[in-house]
């Protein structure tokens, strides 16, 4: 008896698609529209996170093996940044940072 085949006898292999033709839903990427532009957002699991990153939202370290979010402007891959997921979700609620001297008024 011959070994069992795991694929149909006459099936042709599908050739891989180009990056431009790739379906975003398969890669775990989402597209989000914000006032700054259109962002590509990817959720990273803890097992695929192999080095620490600095979150631009809170300026704290994202430790290795911690689930987090990677986001970048669609047309600018160089703007790719690793965020804590909560910092990414709350970034529009954050007030601008104002540096004041110790005795300065708050208004």
| Residue with the larger pLDDT of the pair 91 and 1 | 91
Q: What is the mean pLDDT of residues 1-18?
A: 60
Q: What is the distance between the alpha carbons of residues 59 and 84, in angstroms, rounded to a whole number?
A: 10
pLDDT tens-digit series, residues 31-71: 999 888 899 999 998 888 889 999 999 989 999 999 999 99
Q: What is the mean pLDDT of residues 11-24?
A: 50
Q: Distances from the Cα of 64 to the Cαs of 44, 45, 68, 101, in angstroms?
A: 11, 11, 10, 36
pTM: 0.63
Domain ranges of the chain: 24-90
Structure token digits, residue 1 = 């008896």
């Amino acid at each position: 008896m011959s070994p069992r085949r795991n694929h149909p006898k006459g099936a042709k292999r599908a050739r891989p698609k180009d990056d431009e033709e790739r379906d975003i839903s398969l890669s775990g990427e989402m597209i989000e529209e914000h006032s700054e532009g259109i962002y590509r957002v990817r959720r990273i699991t803890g097992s695929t996170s192999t080095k620490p990153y600095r979150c631009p939202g809170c300026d704290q370290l994202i430790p290795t093996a911690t689930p987090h979010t990677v986001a970048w402007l669609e047309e600018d891959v160089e703007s790719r940044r690793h965020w804590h997921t909560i910092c990414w979700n709350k970034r529009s609620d954050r007030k601008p940072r104002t540096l004041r001297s110790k005795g300065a008024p708050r208004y």
